Amino acid sequence: MIKPDALEANNTGKIIDMIIEAGFSIKAMKLTHLNKTEAETFYAVHSERPFFGELVDYMTSGPIVAAILEKDNAVADFRTLIGATDPAEAAEGTIRKKYAESKAKNAVHGSDSDENAAIECAYHFSGREIVG
Ligand code: ADP
Ligand code: MG
């Protein structure tokens, strides 16, 4: 996902360019706006964390772009491309180093495992609109 802060700052196109330049192919993509229930469901794994309320408020504060990306070693390579959760700790040249505002408003989401990627892809897309 490209998160609300990145859309608000008009960084969507630059982030998509970086994703394509890094060798990912886009299999599905859409602009959407999560409601509270959707954001709570998507981030249910974090429901006990102290920042959960802030995270849900932020993720519902504006539109997001959801995408399914394909690449060999996609999960690990995407996390390398986006950088650490906190932009202050993210490596030079990463999406979060360039475009994240803060540890909370950090521009992009990446799945943390193949298993969760499959769950998250299914969450955002029914399947019919997936290319290939
Ligand atoms: P990542 O997105 O790098 O996988 P996490 O899964 O740990 O990071 O956290 C999910 C999201 O919750 C982060 O991307 C960020 O938007 C938010 N978040 C994480 N830690 C904090 C924090 N300490 N305070 C506020 N928001 C946070
Ligand atoms: Mg995570």
Give the single-character DSSP code of 132: -
| CB of 70 sitting under 6 A from ligand 1 | no
What is the pLDDT averaged over residues 58-87? 98
109 is catalytic: yes
Query: Per the domain annotation, does 75 fall within a domain?
Result: yes
For the segment 15-53, what is each residue's pLDDT rounded down to a tens digit?
Answer: 999 999 999 999 999 999 999 999 999 999 999 999 999
CA-to-CA distance for 84 and 45, rounded, in angstroms? 19
**Looking at the predicted structure, is the pLDDT value of residue 130 above 80?**
no
CA 93 to chain centre: 17
Query: Per the domain annotation, does 42 fall within a domain?
Result: yes
- Under 8 Å between Cβ of 108 and 3: yes
**Looking at the predicted structure, is the pLDDT value of residue 88 above 80?**
yes
* Structural domains counted in the chain: 1
**Looking at the predicted structure, is the pLDDT value of residue 132 above 70?**
no
DSSP string across 51-108: THHHHHHHHTSS-EEEEEEE-TTHHHHHHHHH--SSGGGSPTTSHHHHH--SSSS-SB
Among the bound ligands, name the one nearest to the CA of residue 95: 1
**Protein residue with its CA nearest to atom 1 in ligand 1:** 85
Q: Which residues of 48-85 are buried (b: 16+ CB within 10 A; e: fewer)?
A: eeeebeebbebbbbeebbbbbbeeeebbebbeebbbbe
Of 97, 123, 99, residue with least CA distance to 30? 123
For the segment 102-126, what is each residue's pLDDT rounded down to a tens digit?
Answer: 999 999 999 999 999 999 999 999 8
**Looking at the predicted structure, is the pLDDT value of residue 6 above 80?**
yes
Q: What is the CATH number of the domain that holds 78?
A: 3.30.70.141
Query: Per the domain annotation, does 71 fall within a domain?
Result: yes
pLDDT of res. 96: 98
Ligand 1 atom index nearest CA of 82 = 3
Domain extent at residue 108: 4-125
**Protein residue with its CA nearest to atom 18 in ligand 1:** 104
**Looking at the predicted structure, is the pLDDT value of residue 68 above 90?**
yes
pLDDT of res. 126: 84
Per the model's pLDDT, the better-predicted residue between 124 and 127 turns out to be 124
Write out the two tokens for 89: 């700790």
Among the bound ligands, name the one nearest to the CA of residue 85: 1
Pocket test for ligand 1, best of 80, 103, 109 (most atoms within 8 A of CB): 103
pTM of the model: 0.96
Query: Per the domain annotation, does 130 fall within a domain?
Result: no
What is the pLDDT averaged over residues 47-64? 98
